[in-house]
Amino acid sequence: MKGKCLLFCSLWIMLLCVQANLSGGGFGDQYAWVRWSEAKIVASQQDKPIMVILHKTWCGACKRLKPLVAGSKAMLDLSDKFVMVNAEDDEEPSSDPDFSIDGGYIPRIVFLDSSGNIRPEFSNTRRGDKYKYFYPSSDEIIISMNNVLANIATKQEL
């Protein structure tokens, strides 16, 4: 019975993601974007960390980052190992103060583990103490993505 329930839930989540046909908001429609409202469920079921991009449509730095992410094959390949959330303007979790770890600047990228816990230790290592979750290039995002994958144990590894 438990196996049937898990299979049904997994199929239901996949159907939601396909039906949503989420736009990349300029960050690339080829990514498997998931709404924040489903991200924790998907992450738990698939045992993947979550990557949340918080951005605004009017933001100059966000506009500069979009084509870099959209055009990065290496980042697209790594994204299969993450649940990817693209929070544009006031979409959740943009208003959640827990995501403003060192300020409310944008764009900001925050990583969570598969249980949905924010992991503030995963930040842009090329930044100082200010704006640690700001990434001006896809290369810097890739460094953090690899760091997350190397340092977050999955349930299968335990």
- pLDDT number for residue 141: 98
Through-space distance between the first and last CA atoms of the chain, rounded to whole angstroms: 25
Q: What is the pLDDT of residues 89-147, one digit of tens each?
A: 989 999 899 999 999 999 999 999 999 999 999 999 998 888 999 999 999 999 999 99
Q: What is the pLDDT of residues 65-76, one digit of tens each?
A: 999 999 999 999
Rounded distance between C-alpha atoms, residue 127 and residue 89, angstroms: 24
Count CB atoms within 10 A of the CB of residue 11: 10
Q: What is the pTM of this model?
A: 0.84
Q: Is pLDDT of 2 > 50?
A: yes
Pick from 105, 20, 12, 97: nearest CA to 60: 105
Collapse the DSSP code of 151 into the 3-class scheme (helix H, G, I; strand E, B; otherwise coil) and give the result: helix
Q: Is the peptide bond before 107 cis (omega within 30 degrees of 0)?
A: yes
Rounded distance between C-alpha atoms, residue 83 and residue 44, angstroms: 10
Domains of the chain: residue spans and CATH: 2-151 (3.40.30.10)
- pLDDT number for residue 25: 87
Q: What is the pLDDT of residues 22-67, one digit of tens each?
A: 678 899 999 999 999 999 999 999 999 999 999 999 999 999 999 9
Q: Is pLDDT of 158 > 50?
A: no
